[in-house]
Amino acid sequence: MSHGTHRVSWIRAAGWRVRLIALERKQGKEDLEQRVQLRTAQLAEANRGLQLEILSACRTN
């Protein structure tokens, strides 16, 4: 393998590595966004429950 061919192979390998890292980051970002949406929904549900408890307590007083 000539020096030029070796250099081209190395550049291609580096390019694939950069693409792989970008894909992993994108997947990580999507996973994080999904977890944030789930936790936000859970907190909203808990908040509704607490508001109902407050209303109930205010009515009994």
| pLDDT per residue as tens digits for the range 3-57 | 678 888 999 999 999 999 999 999 999 999 999 999 999 999 999 999 999 999 9
Contact partners, residue 7, CB within 8 Å, separation at least 6:
none
Q: What is the pLDDT of residue 8?
A: 84
Query: Does 2 score more than 80 pLDDT?
Result: no
Rounded Cα gap, residues 22 and 53, in angstroms: 47
